[in-house]
Amino acid sequence: MTYENLLVEEQDGIITLTINRPKALNALNTQTILELQHFFGEDAPQREHVKGVILTGAGDKAFVAGADIKEFLSLDTQQGQAMAQRGQDTFFLIERFHKPVVALVNGFALGGGCELAMACHLRIATENARFGQPEVSLGIIPGYGGTQRLIQYLGKTKATELLLTGDMIKADEALQLGLLNYVLPAAEALDKAKEIIKKTATKGPIAIAKVIESINAYFQYDEDGFAREVAEFGHTTGTEDFKEGAAAFIEKRQPDFKGE
């Protein structure tokens, strides 16, 4: 696929994926969703050498300021459900990606933008970032996982308030509430995202993938997260990476993981 709304840049094994619709405040239209779906479903999984992905928005005003509301106006019930399902399926690809995905939120993350940031494994925000699910102000509800993931991160009480009022919160409050890992000046945020990915890249790649799977299992209604942890722990003990990691620990050296 030729990307129209995504910029893909790779440096030192780290991909910076930029949603590039600054005139529309990087709003998620159908084309952008399809491109994200292709990138995380087909493109990125083939790049086994990649250490992780930093997802951000073009410009300094918005990460993603929401969905493209113009596309909603002609939807009937069935079409609306199909759109929401496509968005959820795409965001699950991000959440389940086997290497770290860090959202670098550089401005407004509203509606679909907040949902997109929450689908990433980690979130770093610049000081001007704003978060919210304002869909009720338009007479609709979040459709890309917002009613579910916001509760996971904030708890039911605060998430319910934000979902019912449509209020925005600033980056410092989002940090206090547990939505963010860091709030940093714009000049430092990208370096921090790269630092985290470089650190995870020194760990066992199979172990990293299995941690992500086990964390996601905690939130799956039809799965026992503890049972999943047992299964994946057993899987990792049978790998060459574990033998190498244990030997390196005993020999007081850095491990040389092969992903095997």
Mean pLDDT calculated for residue range 72-95: 95
Question: What pLDDT is stored for residue 122 in this prediction?
Answer: 98
Report residue 257 as tokens: 């993981």
Task: Return d(Cα 123, Cα 181) in angstroms, integer.
Answer: 6
**DSSP conformation letters of 23-39:** GGTT-B-HHHHHHHHHI
pLDDT tens, position by position, 142-194? 999 999 999 999 999 999 999 999 999 999 999 999 999 999 999 999 999 99
Give the distance from CA 30 to its chain's centroid.
18
Residue 69 pLDDT more than 90?
no
Mean pLDDT calculated for residue range 55-70: 93
Question: What pLDDT is stored for residue 222 in this prediction?
Answer: 86
Which listed residue (135, 195, 232, 240) is catalytic? 135
Q: What mean pLDDT, rounded, does the chain reach?
A: 96
Q: Judge whether 229 counts as a catalytic residue.
A: no
Q: What is the pTM of this model?
A: 0.95
Task: Return d(Cα 105, Cα 246) in angstroms, integer.
Answer: 37
Which listed residue (35, 95, 115, 232) is catalytic? 115
Question: What pLDDT is stored for residue 221 in this prediction?
Answer: 81
Q: Judge whether 260 counts as a catalytic residue.
A: no
